Structure 1
């Protein structure tokens, strides 16, 4: 960073906001939102990895689904980050901050069979769903109904993603598997 540049707002700081949510309440909501933001970006990266690495007889359908699901996660993360900003906070953004704030862990760099990958995604979706559900209540208890509504919409997207992933994991299929499995 150049000596002539200066920081306008420090990460972790909260200032007064135009939406008139008390700063103390905004701090609590921002902390919850940054947790969900971090988890959503971890989900995004895992889904994107699966989009890149999926193989097999159902490649086309799964490749498209993983890509669409990753795009939806990225859109939700963007909306959450913008709400953090509207509340006077600074959205987390760097890899170490995402890792520090996330309630979920990336499965790692290895490539797994598609069933294991989907199961890992289902687990992550479930953990994030529980977190977002709790944060809807927190925001509304603090009088931040707009954040509650935003998180409800995010929750609907997450639940739909989990439901779709669950369908891929069903045991009824027209694709014949290797008899040794």
Structure 2
């Protein structure tokens, strides 16, 4: 048992002044947007991880590797988002229940679906995240926070690229032939 006294350094819902000279009102708006993006990222991260664990079939290895790369990319972007929220004087949303509550996208649940359905569910979340990132890029530009704008643009590039790859996986053209059922 720890003998340290518990002392809260910063309540999660408070924004402190920052050294970046972005005033508190603008910082609060940006941190709010970043925390939404952070929460959405972790919903997607966990869903991609789930699909990575459960993918089966003749295209298993390629999809298994892609999903691993995709969730690692999402996690890297989430880290950038969280660190920027902190640099702006905020507290990044943390913990599964807080992130789920804050997210504007929804985890598909515990059930295991066929890989096509799984990827369609992933693509739907990617689309929602892309729209949110675009809105937040515009917000940060309008508020004069060009660094956060640039960071979100970089994340958007990666998110769009992975969404595009999923779109390719969902195409009808494949070398795998299904057995005809009569």
TM-score, normalization: structure 1?
0.97
**What's 1:179 paired with?**
180
- Give, in whole Å, the separation in 1 of the partners of 2:24 and 2:54: 44
1:17 aligns with 2:18: yes
Q: CA RMSD in A?
A: 1.3
**What's 1:169 paired with?**
170
Cα offset for 1:2? 6.2
- Give, in whole Å, the separation in 1 of the partners of 2:68 and 2:77: 14
- Show structure 1 runs of 5+ residues with no match: none
Matches within 5 A, 1:108-119: 108-119=109-120
Matches within 5 A, 1:128-143: 128-143=129-144
Cα offset for 1:178? 3.1
Matches within 5 A, 1:80-91: 80-91=81-92
**What's 2:99 paired with?**
98
SS in 1 for 2:63: helix
- Give, in whole Å, the separation in 2 of the partners of 1:96 and 1:8: 22
**What's 1:78 paired with?**
79
Cα offset for 1:179? 2.3
- Give, in whole Å, the separation in 2 of the partners of 1:177 and 1:5: 61
